[in-house]
Amino acid sequence: MEYSCFRLMLLAVFFFPAFVECRTRHYKFNVVMKNTSRLCSSKPIVTVNDMFPGPTLYAREDDTVLVKVVNLFFLVSVRHGIRQLRTGWADGPAYITQCPIQPGQSYVYNFTITGQRGTLLWHAHILWLRATVHGALVVLPKRGVPYPFPAPHKEVVVVLAEWWKSDTEAVVNEALKSGLAPNVSDAHTINGHPGAVPACSSQGIQKRLIAIRFTWEFLVVKV
Ligand SMILES: *[C@@H]1O[C@H](CO)[C@@H](O)[C@H](O)[C@H]1NC(C)=O
Ligand SMILES: *[C@@H]1O[C@H](CO)[C@@H](O)[C@H](O)[C@H]1NC(C)=O
Ligand SMILES: *[C@@H]1O[C@H](CO)[C@@H](O)[C@H](O)[C@H]1NC(C)=O
């Protein structure tokens, strides 16, 4: 996804090893439907690049991020948890700062990350698409600036969300019609997976042993 940045970086490493810095990060989001099974049942969901949760964006403070969203099916708009200084239109709430992206159209979100670092969330900002169209946005400190805590040995992005067996648009429409609260979800998910469900093999979250002698940094975002 970060093709041009990566290529630039390779060139830069080759010619100027001391000045490796990527200031513009390119990502491409293809909004596509994908049949997905959880909790012993299957339904089509809207995804970015066939992934649930969607791809993790990485950037450094002061980088410019260009996200090209190619919308093949639905009205979407994507909101980033980034303070938008002078680029309010890149924030994404449909009908507030921009019109939603029409099916078959694309849009390039272009914003610069200023004065923020940490793990944030990007998500679709129309209807309940955010239930499946979301992901983490990791803003690293500027190059050469250390973390404000001992550097972790490894970083793991953990995205907490919820799963409805029903179509989430049907859930929200039903709630809007009745005026009652929407149905609660059928499961909470960690990186897209609910807990192990008997007879639904391989759909539960993988159990992993974490060696505690390492310092791990968990970058947790909740949808
Ligand atoms: C999902 O599955 C249904 C039924 O098998 C099929 O008709 C549909 O084309 C599939 N959709 C996608 C996006 O694969
Ligand atoms: C992104 O925004 C910057 C600042 O407004 C502008 O200079 C640049 O051309 C834009 N890039 C794209 C690809 O739109
Ligand atoms: C919401 O929950 C009720 C009660 O369990 C159920 O009858 C209804 O079909 C659910 N709605 C949707 C959209 O799943």
Report pLDDT digits (tens) over 156-207.
Answer: 888 889 999 999 989 989 999 999 999 999 999 888 988 777 777 554 444 4
Give the residue, out of 35, 36, 45, 51, with the most ligand 1 atoms within 8 A of its beta carbon, to mutate for a pocket test: 35
Tell me how far apart the alpha carbons of residues 181 and 85 are, in angstroms, rounded to a whole number: 35
155 pLDDT more than 90: no
Which domain, by its residues, includes 105? Answer: 22-222
* 1 in a structural domain: no
Of 7-16, 38-47, 185-194, 198-207, the one with minimum mean pLDDT is 7-16
Q: Is 182 exposed, middle or buried (0-12, 13-18, 19+ CB in 10 A)?
A: middle
For position 27, what pLDDT does the model report? 93
Does residue 10 belong to any structural domain of this protein? no
Q: Which tokens in the block code for residue 105?
A: 């159209």
What does pTM read for this prediction? 0.75
Q: 81-93, pLDDT tens digit by residue? A: 555 545 544 454 5
- Please write down the long-range contacts of 199-203, taking CB distance under 8 Å and 24 or more positions apart: 199/40, 200/37, 200/39, 200/40, 203/37, 203/38, 203/39, 203/40
User: What integer best gives the mean pLDDT of the chain?
Assistant: 74
Q: Which ligand is nearest to the CA of 110?
A: 2
The reply to whether 8 falls in a domain is: no
- CA of 172 relative to ligand 3 center, distance in Å: 11
Residue 14: the pLDDT is: 44
Q: Is residue 6 part of a domain?
A: no
Q: Tell me if 108 CB under 6 Å of ligand 2.
A: yes
Q: Is residue 2 one of the residues assigned to a domain?
A: no
CATH number at 185 reads 2.60.40.420
Question: Is 12 part of a structural domain of the chain?
Answer: no
- The dihedral region occupied by 151, where left means phi > 0, alpha psi between -120 and 50, and beta the remainder, is beta
C-beta separation of 71 from 136 below 8 A: no
Question: What is the domain count for the chain?
Answer: 1
Check whether 144 has a pLDDT greater than 50.
yes
Pocket-forming residues, ligand 3, beta carbon under 6 Å? 166, 170-171, 174, 183
Distance of alpha carbon 33 from alpha carbon 28, whole angstroms? 16
How many angstroms is it from 43 CA to the middle of ligand 2?
Answer: 38
Return the structure tokens found at 164: 């409805």
Is 3 within a domain?
A: no
Question: 223 C-alpha vs ligand 3 centroid, how far in Å?
Answer: 22
Helix (H, G, I), strand (E, B) or coil at 99: coil
Question: Which ligand is closest to the CA of 183, given by its number?
Answer: 3
pLDDT at 35 over 90: yes
- In this structure, what are the phi and psi dihedrals at residue 159, rounded to the nearest 5 degrees? -110, 120
Edge-to-edge strand list for the sheet holding 187-190: 187-190, 154-163, 216-222
* pLDDT given at position 51: 94
Q: Which residue has the higher pLDDT, 71 or 97?
A: 71
List pLDDT tens digits, range 119-136. Answer: 888 888 776 788 898 998
Cα radius of gyration rounded to whole Å, the chain: 19
Q: Is residue 53 part of a domain?
A: yes
